[in-house]
């Protein structure tokens, strides 16, 4: 184990905050069993206290100990996708304090795959509460440098595990009620989930549990951004012209100063999405036009983040 990981585990044990890599995005971690540590976490994030936070574990056995009445479906999904970019919302057990569940009777648990996250979880030995390591409402960080830029000294230590491989936050499935509900799309798509589960997954209902990713305009760049259907891109560029940045699949248009070409497949696109939006945000443009991706299930995670970034 590296000296940095050992130090990070010690900081967590005495109630401090550490930034660490996961395969989805970087997290800001705190001891999930300490009310004071979690309060410090919410203060650093500037996050309202009634928003629940995901608790991370080294393995499924520990994760399920924080839940009760774990349904067969949860075990199937865990078996197939953990460690990995999936969060399960389950009924909470007595181990989970109200301060990590936002006062709800459910808890979000995840077993991340990133080797540094795994090392840290093993060294720490318990649950690590970790939202994405950005301030509330800002873009999620996918590098250690993003975390330092966003949170400054609020993270005592930031472990550097390189750029996040998935690039968008975990898929969240709620199994705390009847059936399974997709609360947040991500790298693991609905068809993959349904195949592992052997059952259909419902869309989010209006009365689903609160989750801050569900707030409009949550994953937002500061520059006004708009999602444009491919066939309207050319007309929009002609109309706006001045200081416009474009995120597109097609070749650069010479009328546009700042053109970023994105991969035509969803995994590569997701991996670069937040770093690209940060770059565009720093480019000093007046607006951002984003060519809309296809309406297929594989693109649902990317589409969800783009819709939020442009609402």
The correct pick among 114, 146, 190, 211 for binding ligand TXA (CB under 6 A) is: 211
Contacting range for ligand TXA; rule: CB under 6 A; set: 65-73, 98-106, 198-206, 242-250:
98-106
The correct pick among 16, 19, 21, 52 for binding ligand TXA (CB under 6 A) is: 52
CB 83 within 8 A of CB 113: yes
The correct pick among 87, 138, 142, 189 for binding ligand TXA (CB under 6 A) is: 87
> Would you tell me how many other CB atoms lie within 10 Å of the CB of residue 2?
12
Check binding of 131 to ligand TXA (CB under 6 A): yes
CB 8 within 8 A of CB 20: yes
Among residues 113, 99, 107, which one has the least CA distance to residue 48? 99
Write out the binding residues for ligand TXA, residues 141-200 only, by CB under 6 A: 169-170, 172, 183
Check binding of 271 to Mg ion (CB under 5 A): no
Write out the binding residues for Mg ion, residues 108-137 only, by CB under 5 A: 132
Helix (H) / strand (E) element for 91: namely strand 86-91
CB 54 within 8 A of CB 131: yes
Minimal distance, residue 305 CB to Mg ion, in Å: 11
Minimal distance, residue 306 CB to ligand TXA, in Å: 17
The residues, any chain, with a CB within 8 Å of residue 157's CB and separated by 6 or more, are 4, 7, 8, 11, 18, 19
Check binding of 51 to ligand TXA (CB under 6 A): yes
Minimal distance, residue 219 CB to ligand TXA, in Å: 9
Which listed option, Mg ion, ligand TXA, none, makes contact with residue 108 (CB within 5 to 8 Å by class)?
Answer: ligand TXA
Check binding of 118 to ligand TXA (CB under 6 A): no
3-state SS assignment for residue 287: strand
The correct pick among 9, 30, 107, 292 for binding ligand TXA (CB under 6 A) is: 107
The residues, any chain, with a CB within 8 Å of residue 145's CB and separated by 6 or more, are none
Q: Which residues pair with 33 in a beta bridge?
A: none
> Would you tell me how many other CB atoms lie within 10 Å of the CB of residue 206?
4
Check binding of 22 to ligand TXA (CB under 6 A): yes
CB 252 within 8 A of CB 171: no
Check binding of 87 to Mg ion (CB under 5 A): no
The number of CA neighbours under 13 Å toward the Cβ of 288 is: 25
The correct pick among 19, 83, 108, 127 for binding ligand TXA (CB under 6 A) is: 108
Comparison of 162 and 224: residue with beta carbon closer to ligand TXA: 162
Among residues 124, 127, 115, which one has the least CA distance to residue 84? 115
Chain residues in the site for Mg ion (CB under 5 A): 132
Chain residues in the site for ligand TXA (CB under 6 A): 22, 24-25, 27, 51-54, 87, 89, 101, 104, 106-108, 110, 130-132, 169-170, 172, 183, 209, 211-213
């Amino acid at each position: 184990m590296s000296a940095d990981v050992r130090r990070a585990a010690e900081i967590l044990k005495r109630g401090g905050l550490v930034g660490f890599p996961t395969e989805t995005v970087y997290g800001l971690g705190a001891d999930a069993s300490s009310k004071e540590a979690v309060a410090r976490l919410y203060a650093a994030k500037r996050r309202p206290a009634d928003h629940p936070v995901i608790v991370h574990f080294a393995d499924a056995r520990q994760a399920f100990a924080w839940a009760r009445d774990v349904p067969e479906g949860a075990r199937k999904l865990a078996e197939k996708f953990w460690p990995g970019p999936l969060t399960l919302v389950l009924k909470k057990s007595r181990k989970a304090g109200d301060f990590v569940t936002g006062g709800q009777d459910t808890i979000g648990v995840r077993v991340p795959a990133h080797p540094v996250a795994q090392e840290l979880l093993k060294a720490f030995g318990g649950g690590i509460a970790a939202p994405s390591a950005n301030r509330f409402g800002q873009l999620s960080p996918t590098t250690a440098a993003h975390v330092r830029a966003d949170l400054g000294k609020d993270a005592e230590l930031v472990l550097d595990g390189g750029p996040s491989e998935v690039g968008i936050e975990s898929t969240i499935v709620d199994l705390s009620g009847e059936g399974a509900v997709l609360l947040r799309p991500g790298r693991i798509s609905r068809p993959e989930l349904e195949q592992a589960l052997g059952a259909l997954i419902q869309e989010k209902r209006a009365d689903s549990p609160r989750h801050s990713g569900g707030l409009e305009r949550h994953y937002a760049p500061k520059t006004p951004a708009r999602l444009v259907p491919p066939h309207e891109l050319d007309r929009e560029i002609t109309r706006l012209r001045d200081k416009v940045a474009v995120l597109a699949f097609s070749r650069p248009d010479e009328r546009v100063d700042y053109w970023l070409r994105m991969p035509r497949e969803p995994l590569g696109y997701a991996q670069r999405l937040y770093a690209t939006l940060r770059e565009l945000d720093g480019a000093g443009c007046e607006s951002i036009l984003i060519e809309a991706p296809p309406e297929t299930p594989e693109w649902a995670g990317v589409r969800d983040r783009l819709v939020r970034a442009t609402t």
